Amino acid sequence: MEPMKVVLSDDEIPRQWYNVMADLPTPMSPPLHPGTGQPIAAQDLAPVFPMNLIEQEVSTERWIDIPEPVLEKYLLWRPSPLCRARQFEKVLDAPVRIYYKNEGMSPAGSHKPNTAIAQAYYNKVFGIKRLSTETGAGQWGSALSMACKMFGLQCRVFMVRVSFEQKPYRRLMMMTWGGECISSPSDRTRAGRQILAENPDSPGSLGIAISEAIEDAVGDETARYSLGSVLNHVLLHQTIIGLEAQKQLAKIGEYPDVVLGCAGGGSNFAGISLPFVRDKLHGKQVEIVAAEPTSCPTLTRGPFAYDFGDTAMTTPLLPMHTLGHGFLPAPIHAGGLRYHGMAPIVSHLVKEGVVEARAFNQIETFTAGVQWAQTEGFIPAPETNHVIAAVVQEAERARQEGKEKVILFNWSGHGIIDLPAYDAFFSGKLTPYELPEEEILKALESIAGLPKP
């Protein structure tokens, strides 16, 4: 019988993360100081992040050891299984073998604890007492609340208002793990109060919540800010996913033709794909595809430009695909994909043609997600539905080309706490929304005067 899942034993867990910065064929543009427009110095970031994570952010070491206390926590659920989606393959009726990493098995239900645990650990070692962060869908906020509790830190989470209202259970998860969850925009910060004064009904956005969390952190010497995606060190921690997948595929003598992930800020996509990017840069034939929503098409329709990571323009200027920091994404149910920017590493790889991006609308993604649930059982998070839609498309292509393909993708999280989104889909309330060109042009006005990479 062909294997349905490949598991690694505890002692086969990778002991190092992979840093793609060591292998990039062309250099990335540096982040710029928002005041001076000059490349940012490590010291400039010190009020925001602990120095040990800043060192990782700028590191060009290819392999970085995973500290023992982090590995110990990873072993609560890692190595995550590599599963074969045989029932899904049957309904797609295409010449494909589909493998996926099930990151929904973590205590918080997604890939987010892979970096939450690492970040909580490094902050603890640096002597920090409290972390402040933002969350979209609530996946990140719950993961960080759990990680902080494990390492004895306090955690404050600014949750995008539309998700705060749509997802009360995520807030309760944060509370269960001892985190404090605040609806954003809030009256706790200057940035939040300013947004509320302009628009009391603002649905919030990740950009606004980031501004609030940074302001909250830099105002308290014992606190630091923590980001769940986008930054180099976050992507680094997520590479454990792809590294495990490589070991697991090698055990059964498989290698993927295509590697896919959904992309909000780019962390789970990078997590599964960067070890394969390394292979590709060394001559392997492998397609690497990021799936994003048509309502927030950062990679497929946003220019590659310098932009702020947040709405209040407090972060360094990052070289990335962006829809402009003033962009307020439509309140789609995939809250974790509602971000105006994208990880600089992922943006760079798209710009260089190493990685490809495709966009899918909500109807396509929920149709694929329901088909998945009805065959493979596990109910995917709305974000994860985007990559499943891309897998469906890939299978269709294989059928049309009459070519056998091995597909590997990252099943980034489960949707058990996102069932109201499924309710909206079943009752016909979702639309195949595509961001109109005028809105993109309007949103991009906010980056018109910024330096160009």
Ligand X SMILES: Cc1ncc(COP(=O)(O)O)c(C=O)c1O
Q: Residue 231 corresponds to which amino acid?
A: L
- Using CB under 6 A, pick the residue from 142, 267, 365, 446 that binds ligand X: 267
Q: CB of 269: closest distance to ligand X in angstroms?
A: 6
Separation of alpha carbons 366 and 364, rounded Å: 6
Q: CB of 193: closest distance to ligand X in angstroms?
A: 26
How many C-beta atoms surround the C-beta of residue 404 within 10 A?
11
Answer yes or no: are the C-beta atoms of 323 and 340 closer than 8 Å: yes
Stretch that binds ligand X, among 25-33, 137-145, 158-166, 436-444 (CB under 6 A): 137-145
How many C-beta atoms surround the C-beta of residue 221 within 10 A?
10
- Using CB under 6 A, pick the residue from 302, 326, 336, 341 that binds ligand X: 336
Q: With binding defined as CB under 6 A, does residue 413 bind ligand X?
A: yes
Stretch that binds ligand X, among 56-64, 162-170, 264-272, 368-376 (CB under 6 A): 264-272
Stretch that binds ligand X, among 26-34, 148-156, 256-264, 371-379 (CB under 6 A): 256-264
Between 114 and 123, name the residue whose CB sits nearer to ligand X.
Answer: 114
Would you say the C-alpha torsion 157, 161, 163, 164 has a positive or negative sign? positive
- Using CB under 6 A, pick the residue from 113, 179, 185, 264 that binds ligand X: 264
Radius of gyration, alpha carbons of the chain: 20
Q: CB of 101: closest distance to ligand X in angstroms?
A: 12
- Using CB under 6 A, pick the residue from 57, 89, 215, 383 that binds ligand X: 383
Between 137 and 407, name the residue whose CB sits nearer to ligand X.
Answer: 137
Element of type H or E holding 28 = none
402: left (phi over 0), alpha (psi -120 to 50) or beta: left
- Using CB under 6 A, pick the residue from 19, 119, 133, 139 that binds ligand X: 139
- Using CB under 6 A, pick the residue from 265, 316, 329, 344 that binds ligand X: 265
Q: Which tokens belong to 370?
A: 């329901």
Q: CB of 111: closest distance to ligand X in angstroms?
A: 6
Q: What residues contact 409, with CB distance under 8 A and at least 6 apart?
A: 98, 99, 100, 101, 259, 260, 261, 272, 387, 388, 390, 391
Q: What is the DSSP string of 254-320?
A: ---SEEEEE-SSSHHHHHHHHHHHHHHHTT---EEEEEEETTS-HHHHS-EEEEESSTTS-SPEEEE
- Using CB under 6 A, pick the residue from 159, 320, 381, 444 that binds ligand X: 381
Between 97 and 409, name the residue whose CB sits nearer to ligand X.
Answer: 409
Q: With binding defined as CB under 6 A, does residue 239 bind ligand X?
A: no
Between 128 and 159, name the residue whose CB sits nearer to ligand X.
Answer: 159
- Using CB under 6 A, pick the residue from 50, 79, 136, 185 that binds ligand X: 136
Element of type H or E holding 63 = strand 63-65
Separation of alpha carbons 213 and 147, rounded Å: 17
Q: CB of 418: closest distance to ligand X in angstroms?
A: 9
Q: CB of 227: closest distance to ligand X in angstroms?
A: 9
Answer yes or no: are the C-beta atoms of 225 and 155 closer than 8 Å: no
Answer yes or no: are the C-beta atoms of 362 and 194 closer than 8 Å: no
- Using CB under 6 A, pick the residue from 121, 140, 360, 425 that binds ligand X: 140
Between 89 and 418, name the residue whose CB sits nearer to ligand X.
Answer: 418
Between 115 and 405, name the residue whose CB sits nearer to ligand X.
Answer: 115
What three-state secondary structure class fits 331? Answer: coil
Q: CB of 417: closest distance to ligand X in angstroms?
A: 10
Separation of alpha carbons 69 and 279, rounded Å: 29
85: left (phi over 0), alpha (psi -120 to 50) or beta: beta
Task: Give the single-character DSSP code of 381.
Answer: P
Question: x/- binding map, residues 284-323, to ligand X, per CB under 6 A?
Answer: ----------------------------------------
Question: x/- binding map, residues 213-232, to ligand X, per CB under 6 A?
Answer: ----------------x---
Q: With binding defined as CB under 6 A, does residue 262 bind ligand X?
A: yes
Q: CB of 335: closest distance to ligand X in angstroms?
A: 7
Q: What residues contact 445, with CB distance under 8 A and at least 6 apart?
A: 324, 326
Q: CB of 117: closest distance to ligand X in angstroms?
A: 15
Q: With binding defined as CB under 6 A, does residue 384 bind ligand X?
A: yes
Q: CB of 290: closest distance to ligand X in angstroms?
A: 9
Question: x/- binding map, residues 17-36, to ligand X, per CB under 6 A?
Answer: --------------------
Separation of alpha carbons 164 and 355, rounded Å: 33
Answer yes or no: are the C-beta atoms of 123 and 50 closer than 8 Å: yes
Binding region for ligand X (CB under 6 A): 110, 136-137, 139-140, 229, 262-269, 336-337, 381, 383-384, 412-413
